[in-house]
Structure 1
Amino acid sequence: MPSDARGVTARRIVLGTQLRKLRENAGISRSDAGYQIRASDSKVSRLELGRVAFKERDVADLLTMYGVSDAEEREQFLEMVRKANEPGWWRRYTDVTPSWFQDFMGMQESAARIHTYELQFVPGLLQTEAYVRAVLTRGRPDYAPADTEKRIHLRMQRQTLITNPNPPRLWAIIDETVIHRPIGGRRVLREQLQFLLEQSKQPHITIQIVPNQLSGYAAEGPFTLLRFAEAELPDVVYIEHLGGAVMLDGVEEIEIFSRALDRLTVDAETPDRSRQMLAKAITEL
């Protein structure tokens, strides 16, 4: 994954936020802005939220309308448009990923901190290839769909996010049942736990295990909280379910999940104790 791909989604959202501030400071409505670029007010809303690609001509017209006439300042905005429109590496996998998951990958690539809580599986960014294959084939590799190998490659490609020279901070909290659930069989689980143990020693990765006696109290399901370095970007919570996924960024919603994370970090064993639990589980396999 190219190192400059991490910021594509973030740049798009930041650019949209800056355009919204310019519009509001100029006292211009979304409808009027939309008319200026031959679009609806709903499209302007999507642009300002960073949910669609930008056209240089549209941004140039909006800058003129908002009173931005300085050539250097205008060029800075247009350069942001060009960078924000760079396709993410995951676009090669659109045939095996739904649009909502592509949105999540874009946000994850842009995050400075990734907090994740898992009850059933090892977090995706920390899975071995054999474990991924067992999960994606539901333990029946002989009946795997034709696109399975491409989906496995996608998940392994995503993991380069935490092996790049400037990785985000990953904080994974895992239920104790995960390290004893024989996904793929004993050999696959042993290899997976050894990999977790190795990764837990990385300076940018923290792994904590919630012991069985405290499981289920702080949160009733898995979720991921993304935090960004850019001040314009709000925290985002990602929750996946059987039929899709939701991403939440409301202040009250983020507060609920932040409190849950705080409780989980307290209930979970310390990173050192969690490593001991992993080592013990490995010897028992």
Structure 2
Amino acid sequence: MPKTFKSNLQNRAVGRALALWRKESVLSLAEAGERVGWSPAKTSMMQNALVPIVDTDVVALALVYKVSGEQRAPVVLGAQRARDPLRFDLLTGDASSCVGWTYAEVEAEASCARVVALDVLPPLVRTPEYEAALRGAQVEAVSEQDHRHYSDAHRQRATQHLSKGPSLRLDLVVGEAVLRRPIGGAPVMADQLLRLAAFAELPGVRMWLVPDEVGAFSGMTSFTLLSFRQDEFEDVVYLDTLHAGTWLEEERERRPYAETFERLTNVVRPAGDTSARLIEAAQLLKDSAD
């Protein structure tokens, strides 16, 4: 493996698929390695996307795991695309034929999520009622987008990690205007803010509010910047758009978001004030609903 190797999102999607195949086959790493003719360590490295994954190796594992041709095809194409996504897309014009990934799958691998929420709150902190209200306000073509799927099981796992400490950290910057936008009505929003206040107290969470007087600036948008423990995994930026989830992997594309996050943390209200302001905003909403 070259020392400069960096595993892109496509390579990691292939690795996840290989891990799922082995799990479904009920074969151990040693058993899989013996049947395919290489070491268990190689299979493990491939599953964790710590090495470039070759399409012929994908085929070999698919045969060992007895994976159907229909299941195998997008993963083989994904391994081909991972080598040079831009060239693959130019030549084929159809990246959708490759194995894909969701935001939740990538977030599950992260050690730190830096989130800027200026319009709506991120999936991790949403109550079911707040989530339902968001979906109800969207046109069907938007609410049914696969990239928006964020399961309760994933939310619970992430919350447990944040509760225990070092395995995951969430740095969340919320625009104060979000607190006054009663999505789902005043009672729903009040409950959401109380949940957000409880989230702010978790060991793995730091949360700040951006005061209204800071104002907006050109191009400002909500986004998530994910970081990982593995040296082979570069930071990635995620943007939730109407037609799809947009991922930015190149350093030149990520830099403005990283710098914007740092700039915002210099103009936010003190972190110690966050829970009190959230509880105050929740109470105002409850009072208005009486």
- TM-score interval (norm. to shorter): 0.5 to 0.7
Tell me whether 1:50 sits opposite 2:25 in the alignment: no
Counterpart residue number, 1:199 = 199
Residue identity in the other structure for 2:40:
E
Tell me whether 1:162 sits opposite 2:158 in the alignment: yes
Residue identity in the other structure for 1:248:
L
Structure 1 gaps of 5+ residues are 1-17, 26-44, 57-72, 86-97
| Residues 130 and 55 (structure 1), Cα distance of their counterparts in 2 relative to 1, 3 Å cut | closer
- The DSSP-based 3-state class of the residue aligned with 2:220 is coil
Write the deviation string for residues 177-208 of structure 1: whole angstroms up to 9, x where unpaired. 11110100010011001101111111101111
Q: Give the number of aligned pairs.
A: 213
Checking the alignment, whether the CA contact within 8 Å between 2:117 and 2:173 is kept in structure 1 is yes
Structure 2: distance between partners of 1:161 and 1:244: 24
| Residues 101 and 169 (structure 1), Cα distance of their counterparts in 2 relative to 1, 3 Å cut | farther
Checking the alignment, whether the CA contact within 8 Å between 2:13 and 2:101 is kept in structure 1 is no
| Residues 181 and 240 (structure 1), Cα distance of their counterparts in 2 relative to 1, 3 Å cut | same
Counterpart residue number, 1:79 = 44
Q: TM-score, normalised by structure 1?
A: 0.64
Structure 2: distance between partners of 1:194 and 1:113: 23
Aligned alpha-carbon RMSD (Å): 3.7
Counterpart residue number, 1:209 = 209
Checking the alignment, whether the CA contact within 8 Å between 2:112 and 2:227 is kept in structure 1 is yes
Checking the alignment, whether the CA contact within 8 Å between 1:219 and 1:260 is kept in structure 2 is no
Structure 1: distance between partners of 2:265 and 2:186: 28
| Residues 101 and 202 (structure 1), Cα distance of their counterparts in 2 relative to 1, 3 Å cut | farther
- Aligned residue runs from structure 1 range 29-68, under 5 A: 49-53=11-15
Structure 2: distance between partners of 1:154 and 1:168: 17
Structure 2: distance between partners of 1:100 and 1:189: 37
Counterpart residue number, 2:186 = 186
Checking the alignment, whether the CA contact within 8 Å between 2:123 and 2:150 is kept in structure 1 is no
Give 1:47 shift. 10
Checking the alignment, whether the CA contact within 8 Å between 2:227 and 2:235 is kept in structure 1 is yes
Tell me whether 1:110 sits opposite 2:109 in the alignment: yes
Worse-superposed segment, 247-256 or 120-129: 247-256
Structure 2 gaps of 5+ residues are 20-37, 50-60, 62-95, 286-290
Write the deviation string for residues 55-106 of structure 1: whole angstroms up to 9, x where unpaired. 79xxxxxxxxxxxxxxxx9331123345669xxxxxxxxxxxx999833222
Checking the alignment, whether the CA contact within 8 Å between 1:126 and 1:196 is kept in structure 2 is yes
Q: TM-score, normalised by structure 2?
A: 0.63
